[in-house]
């Protein structure tokens, strides 16, 4: 199991812990923006890997187009 949650933990896995909320409150706007950019980049890389696995014959241009559609529409 990758992640186990039990009732004695402070927050269920779909909610940030109080420690995480406090850390976010201490961050500057620039730090939050950098974090959001890292999350966006990670999501695109993950989606790109998924696309390549689904269809290994897609060209780089086709991958870029599908990623663009994913960004615009939230689905590909």
User: What does the pLDDT look like over 8-62, one tens digit per residue?
Assistant: 656 567 788 899 999 999 999 999 999 999 999 999 999 999 999 999 999 999 9
Per-residue confidence (pLDDT) for residue 75, from 0 to 100: 65
Report the alpha-carbon distance of residue 59 to residue 76 in Å, rounded: 16
Per-residue confidence (pLDDT) for residue 14, from 0 to 100: 79
Report the alpha-carbon distance of residue 11 to residue 40 in Å, rounded: 24
Q: Measured in whole angstroms, how far is the alpha carbon of residue 59 from the centre of its chain? A: 24
Report the alpha-carbon distance of residue 13 to residue 70 in Å, rounded: 26
Residue 3 has pLDDT above 90, yes or no: no
Per-residue confidence (pLDDT) for residue 7, from 0 to 100: 58
Per-residue confidence (pLDDT) for residue 15, from 0 to 100: 85
Instruction: Provide the angle, in degrees to the nearest 10, between the axes of the packed helices 60-73 and 29-54.
Output: 130
């Amino acid at each position: 199991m990758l992640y186990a949650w039990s009732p004695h933990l402070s927050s269920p896995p779909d909610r940030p812990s109080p420690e995480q909320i406090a850390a976010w409150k201490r961050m500057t706007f620039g730090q939050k923006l950098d974090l959001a950019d890292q999350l966006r980049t990670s999501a695109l890389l993950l989606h790109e890997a998924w696309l390549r696995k689904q269809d290994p014959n897609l060209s780089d241009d086709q991958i870029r187009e599908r990623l663009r559609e994913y960004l615009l529409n939230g689905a590909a």
